[in-house]
Chain A
Amino acid sequence: MELAISIFTAISNLVLGLFTYLKNPKSATHQLLAFLAAQISIWSILNYISLHAPTEASTLFWIRVDMLPGAPMGPTLYLLANTFPGRKINISRSKLTAIIFFVLLTMLLAISPYMFTAAIFESSNIRAVPGPAIAVFMLNFIGFSLLTFIKLVSRLKKSFGLELAQIRYLLFGIISTFTLITTTDLLGVVLLKSSFFVPLGPLYSLLLIGSISYSIVKHRFLDIRLVVARTVAYTLLVLIVGFVYGLGVFAIGKFITGQQAAINDVVISTALALVMAISFQRLRLFLERLTDKIFYKESYDTNNVLGELSKVMAATLHLDNLTHSILEILVSQLRLSKAAFILFDDHHISSVKSEGFASTPDLDESEVDFLSQTRDALVFEDLDESPQKAILRRLNLSAAIHLRSEGVQIGLLVLGEKQSGDPYSHQDLQLLEIFAPEAAVAIQNSESYEEIRRFNITLQEEVERATSDLQSANEKLKILDKAKDEFLSLASHELRTPMTAIKSYVWMVLNGKAGVQNPTSQKYLQLVFDSTQRLINLVNDMLDISRIESGKVQLRLEPFAVSDLMYQVMEEFKARAADKKITLALDPIQPLPSLTADRDKVLQVLENLVGNALKFTPSEGKITLTVARKENFIEFSVNDTGKGIAEADFPKLFTKFERGAPLTTLSEPGTGLGLYLCKQYVQLHKGTINVKSKVDQGSTFSFTLPLG
């Protein structure tokens, strides 16, 4: 039984130490743990041998040797407590040298006669007689155990969450193991002078192994979940092999070959070893699968998660959706308590997107700067005491991953502890390392997109606002326009009514309906009549212009004979021309195609031009009307022998209320609107109107209208 305990302890410790070391040979924590495991392993074997040595002399020798691995145990534990879970031994070089020297001294004393002077057999008890040097060993062992204890307790106070739990288990294992070993193997031997409890010593180390294992299984301590899994598998394997081997030897020896069959034993052992060798691989795989099932329940496939993340990053442009989806995947797949993106904009925090946080993590900008300074990702357990670690502790965060795109830090991905309380595994960190740069680019793209989108929204709002402004302005203008139309309509109506009465009654008098008037009255009344007619014309012109300028004039196009129109004009003005002794002539008209135009408007233009010519041509003058085809146009001309117009005044002729300066001196006034109206009507027909004139040589007004 003692042998079984010793072998089990030794193998378990050895395998645990070896795998821990191989997992991360560069980390001091791993190295120290492996070293400690090796010491315990060796010690447990030596312990057994020392208790079962054949002679008194050899017992003393083995007891002394057994003390050797005990010498570095306390210091190693102390170093581990200082270092854990870092990668470098966190102690000054001089201190380390002193510790090594002290360990070597203890070891030297251990094999000297000064530590144990003798071993005495007392019935079933072996009593080792301690010498004066045992004090050094006790100082070493108890002293470093106490220092370890103090160190861990002080660290315990500063820790939280995961680290706290890990240190707690470590502390429990160390305290219980070393207290028991100290009590039974050292105090028992020295004070009670009994080695009765010594065989139990190695069993206590199982408490340390157990608590560390529990810490690993529960909290993935040092990321050696795999180590534990393998250790258990191999220990079971060895036990099974041993059992089968032993049973085989026992059974065959007892029932077939007898007790002295030593050669047969060797043959059978070899055969069994071969069977073991053949079955080993299958058995190992089976056990591995079994243990993996227990220890890897919460695992995920890195490639699957990365694929899922890539899909989201490729398919999502909206920043809120993108960050939300990424955080959701990370939290659910890596089983995190919480995660958040802290995004910067030129060293200022632009936005925080969180998942699983009770309240948004509140970092100030100096803290963000501190976290951004480091090159690598920040993992709480791996950090030495530093401002960064203090910030993570304050926010209860376990990790901060840099998001960098083209060398520019665009934000941080901060993560809370895992739901299980485990530390971040190598797999977790590897995944985050691969994923972070991709996320940085995706977020940056998304931010650009957001910016464009916001700009577009602003632009759209501006356009909508401008449009609605324009619409309301347009509505107002329409109302104003209608009001103006109505006003003009009614105002002209009100003006025309009394003017019609004046004009009509004056006409009655002029035409003898009120008896014969004397020539002077007749002359004066004629002036009243003419003036009234001018007023009426003025109102009509203003109404026409208002209609043209508001675009309300619509041409009533219909084909008509141009010659008929010319005869009508001649007929209308015949009497007035004769009154002024002016010759009104129409040049012979060549055969013309019928013209498609608004006949009333064309007539109005001709009336206007002939009316003007009559006004500004003195007695004995001549007015000649001409109409002829010019290519695809019909050209109408009105030529007079009046005073003519200075060329400088040409441009003013066809504008509103403008007339050439020489004309203003003439006795016959006009409204000044006539030529402007003519030009508008001609242009509505897509024709042109022109004037040719020389002072004292008369004028020619002509306009063209298109035929087709």
Chain B
Amino acid sequence: MEDKTKILVVEDDQALRDLYVIILQDAGFAVDQAADGEEAYELLKKGGYDLVLLDIVLPKLDGIHLLENLHQSPPSLPNKKIVVLSNLGHDEIIGNAISLGASGYLIKSDYTPDQIVTRVREFLNDK
């Protein structure tokens, strides 16, 4: 199981966190989860994730600051892709996230669970 694709879900809302963990595990991924920014940062510093689904509005450390931290001091073992998954649709924040290295910005409410899995696969395949 060591070569399973590793995904980290960073989501403070428990209902959604559980949902994303379930559908991604069902899709065959190895899924870690973090409920706040600091917890997520600890995991991301270690690195090695193939994909990270990152919320923006988070307790303790928000997604943008988290991206900044990673941008300034990248982990030795890199995380391949970080995709923002948030319900915050502010243009300015989307622009910030992309410039700080996010591969994409998805609005949660636009997607059904199967569409989320589809998009995740697309990002993973899109080198």
Q: Nearest chain B CB to A540's CB is how many angstroms away?
A: 8
A474 at the binding interface (Cβ < 8 Å): no
Q: Which residues of B contact A492 (CB under 8 A)?
A: 87-89
Partner of A507 from the list B90, B91, B108, B112 (CB cut-off 8 Å) is B112
Q: Among the listed B13, B57, B89, B112, which residue makes an inter-chain contact with A501, where contact means beta carbons less than 8 Å apart?
A: B13
Classify the secondary structure of A's interface with B: helix
B87 to A500, Cβ gap below 8 A? yes
Question: B89, B90, B109, B114: which contacts A500 (Cβ < 8 A)?
Answer: B109
B78 interface hit (Cβ, 8 Å)? no
Contact with B along A612-625 (1 / 0, CB 8 A): 00000000000000
Q: Would you call A489 and B90 a contact (CB within 8 A)?
A: yes
> Would you give the shortest CB distance from B113 to chain A, in whole angstroms?
5
Q: Are the CB atoms of A493 and B88 closer together than 8 Å?
A: yes
Chain B's nearest CB lies how many Å from the CB of A506?
A: 9
> Are A511's CB and B15's CB within 8 A?
no
Q: Select one of A493, A499, A503, A543 contacting B57, CB under 8 A.
A: A493
Partner of A497, one of B91, B108, B114: B108
Please tell me if A353 contacts chain B, counting CB pairs below 8 Å: no
* A489 and B112 contact, CB distance less than 8 A: no
Contact with A along B68-92 (1 / 0, CB 8 A): 0000000000000000001111110
Residue B27, interface by CB 8 Å: no
CB contacts (< 8 Å) of B91 on chain A: these are: 547, 552
Q: Is the CB of A496 within 8 A of B15?
A: no
Name B14's closest neighbour in chain A (CB-CB): A501
The reply on A504 being an interface residue by CB < 8 A is: yes
| Contact indicator B57/A500 (Cβ below 8 Å) | no
Interface set, chain B 14-71, CB cutoff 8 A to A: 15-16, 19, 57
Contact across chains for A507 and B113 when beta carbons are under 8 A apart: yes
A522 → chain B, closest Cβ, in Å?
A: 16
Interface members, chain A 474-517 (any B CB < 8 Å): 485, 489-490, 492-493, 496-497, 499-501, 503-505, 507-508, 511
| A-facing residues in B104-119 (Cβ within 8 Å) | 107-110, 112-114
Give A306 Cβ to nearest chain B Cβ, in Å.
75
A493 / chain B contacts, CB cutoff of 8 Å: 57, 86-89
Are A501's CB and B114's CB within 8 A? no
* Cβ of A539 under 8 Å from chain B: yes
- From A492, A493, A503, A507, residue with most partner B Cβ within 10 Å: A493
Interface contact B109-A499, CB-CB below 8 Å:
yes
Contact with B along A517-547 (1 / 0, CB 8 A): 0000000000000000000100110010001
Cβ of A539 and Cβ of B114 under 8 Å apart?
A: no
Shortest CB distance A487–B (Å) = 11
Over the window 647-665 of chain A, the binary record of Cβ atoms lying under 8 Å from chain B Cβ atoms (1 yes, 0 no) is 0000000000000000000
Query: How close is A347's CB to chain B, nearest CB, in angstroms?
Result: 69
- The distance from the CB of B72 to the nearest CB of chain A, in whole angstroms, is 26
Q: Fill in one digit per residue for A272-287: 1 if any B CB lies within 8 Å of its CB, else 0.
A: 0000000000000000
User: A505 near B87 (CB under 8 angstroms)?
Assistant: no
The listed residue with most A CB atoms (<10 A of its CB), out of B19, B88, B112, is B112
Q: Which residues of B contact A485 (CB under 8 A)?
A: 90
Binary flags per residue of A529-571, CB closer than 8 Å to B gives 1, else 0 = 0000000100110010001000010000000000000000000
Q: How many Å lie between the Cα of A500 and that of B110 in the bound state? A: 8
**Measured between C-beta atoms, what is the minimum distance from A260 to chain B in Å?**
139
Instruction: Please tell me if the beta carbons of B16 and A504 are within 8 angstroms of each other in the complex.
Output: yes
Contact present for B15 and A539 (CB under 8 Å): no
From B15, B108, B109, B114, residue with most partner A Cβ within 10 Å: B109
The interface residues of chain A lying within 8 Å CB-to-CB of B109 are: 496, 499-500, 503, 536, 539-540
Residue of B87, B88, B110 ringed by the most chain A CB atoms within 10 A: B87
Within the complex, the shortest CB–CB distance from A333 to chain B, in Å, comes to 75
Q: How far is the CA of A638 from the CA of B89 in the complex (A)?
A: 29
B87 contacts across to A, CB distance below 8 A: 492-493, 496-497, 500
What is the minimal beta-carbon distance from B19 to any residue of chain A, in angstroms? Answer: 5
Smallest CB–CB gap between A498 and chain B, Å? 8
Assess A489 versus B16: contact at CB under 8 Å? Given A500-B108, A503-B112, A504-B112. Answer: no
B115 to chain A: closest CB distance in Å? 9
Residue pair A489, B19 in contact (C-beta under 8 Å):
no
Given contacts A489-B88, A492-B89, A497-B87, contact A504 B13 (CB under 8 A): no
Within 8 A of A (CB), among B91-127: 91, 107-110, 112-114
- In the complex, residue of chain B having the shortest beta-carbon distance to the beta carbon of A543: B89
Contact A505 B13 (CB under 8 A): no
Knowing A489-B89, A489-B90, A552-B91 are in contact, say whether A497-B112 is a contact too (CB < 8 A): no
A616 to chain B, nearest CB (A): 24
Q: List the A residue with the shortest CB-CB distance to B56.
A: A493
Least distance between A554 CB and chain B CB atoms (Å):
8
| Complex-state Cα separation, A199 to B19, whole angstroms | 150
Q: Contacts A493-B57, A497-B16, A497-B108 hold; do A504 and B113 have CB atoms under 8 A apart?
A: yes
Chain A residues near B57 (CB, 8 Å)?
A: 493
Q: Please give me the residue from chain B that is nearest to A502 by CB atom.
A: B15
A102 to B13, CA, bound (A): 136
Do B19 and A511 have beta carbons less than 8 Å apart?
no
Chain B residues near A (Cβ < 8 Å):
13, 15-16, 19, 57, 86-91, 107-110, 112-114
Which A residues are within 8 Å of any B CB, using their own CB? 485, 489-490, 492-493, 496-497, 499-501, 503-505, 507-508, 511, 536, 539-540, 543, 547, 552
8 more A-B residue pairs beyond the given contacts A490-B88, A492-B87, with a C-beta to C-beta distance below 8 A: A496-B87, A496-B107, A497-B108, A501-B13, A501-B19, A504-B112, A504-B113, A507-B114
Q: List 8 A-B pairs, minimum CB-CB distance, nearest first.
A: A496-B87, A496-B109, A501-B15, A489-B90, A500-B108, A500-B109, A536-B109, A493-B88
